[in-house]
Amino acid sequence: MSTYKELKGINVQSLDSDPTALEGDVWYNASTSKLKMYTYSTGAWASGGNLGTARYFGAGAGTQTAALNFGGQTRPANYPPGFSALNESYDGSSWTELNDLTTAKKNRGSAGTQTAALAFGGTDGGGSPYVAINELWNGTSWTETTDLNSPKAGSVGFGTSTAALATQGVYPHSANTEIWDGSSWTEVADVNTPVHDSVGTGTSTAGLKVSGQTAPNPLTANTELWNGTAWTEVNNLNAAKRAGGMGGITSAALYFGGASTTVQNLATTEEYDGSSWTEVADLSTGRKFPGSDGTSILALGMGGYTPGDASSNATEEWTSAIAAQTIAFD
């Protein structure tokens, strides 16, 4: 592990007041005689711009201010569901409809950014087969490219358009993990606990797979860490859940929403620090199957399935504020 000395040198600045915020900075405030540093405080959710079309089971890619939401399922209350090829782009305040996916599916895996993304696997429900379709977004249009080795729906996906990971899927539960190198998929080490309605975040060499539903029905709080070679079980969520949203990296992640055995549309949020999960501020509206992306500091929840048996167009933005903290010595 790097030390402050290695990163910043041996001297700490002495200042008359706190400087402009930059996470990790350390200084001595001469006016208060305190050694201080900037770090992120607990965040909160706020409303963002609504999706153009309400959907759940949608996939997400990008960041809080440059995101995509694509595919999914529409479901007004008491109305037959429809499966969507819609693709919308978010600029941090509003959504714009762009060119559609080549195939309308729900429950797709995803990876990438607003201008370079992957959409893989999926289904259109009703007992129809899962697919191995893989589509590439170049910022303008979607193009079918090399398929997954195994059909998947509800798979966990993360990474980039040239280095991605896809793992698991719904019934029959699969432990299968595949790595994308920009041209083809290669099967690698299986997960330890096969589930569906799981979610993940990270890169093709360092990621997390969290929660889900095991066969036949029990929910799990399971968290597994991917190191580029193998999966290792680490500390669980505080509560067993499925169908949530997620953002972040292996040392700082956020899990939000989903469903439990007793609540079908959770608003709870849990934050991971690389070791353990802590419950933090709730979503404004409970939801399961949201699209999601971003980091543990700036995350985005898009749409989802909300109370009242309906799909949602609501977008919520998670922001952790940076704040000056006094360094205490025991």
Mean pLDDT of 117-131: 82
Per residue in 277-301, pLDDT (tens digit) is 999 999 999 999 999 999 999 999 9
CB 215 within 8 A of CB 261: no
Q: Mean pLDDT check: name the lowest of 39-43, 94-98, 103-107, 306-310.
A: 39-43
Distance CA 165, CA 177 (A): 7
- The Cα–Cα gap between 141 and 118 comes to 11
User: Do the strands 13-15 and 26-29 form a parallel or antiparallel pair, or are they unpaired?
Assistant: parallel
Q: What is the pLDDT of residues 23-57, one digit of tens each?
A: 556 766 777 776 656 566 779 999 999 999 999 99
Residue entry with tokens 């799909």: 311
Bigger pLDDT: 325 vs 160: 160
In whole angstroms, how far apart are CA 76 and each of 71, 80, 128, 276?
Answer: 16, 8, 22, 38
- Asked whether 60 and 67 are in contact (CB, 8 A), the reply is yes
Q: How many CB atoms lie within 10 A of CB 60?
A: 25
What would the mean pLDDT of 64-78 be, rounded to a whole number? Answer: 87
Return the bridge partners of 59, or none. Answer: 70
Of 188, 144, 195, nearest in space to 174 by CA: 195
Distances (CA, A) of 307 to 41, 258, 267, 311, 321: 30, 12, 11, 9, 30
DSSP label at 7?
A: H
pLDDT of residue 2 exceeding 50? no
- Which amino acid makes up residue 182? G
Q: Where are the domains of the chain?
A: 4-40, 45-318
Architecture of domain 45-318: 6 Propeller (2.120)
pLDDT value at residue 248: 95
Q: Give me 26's structure tokens.
A: 């350390």
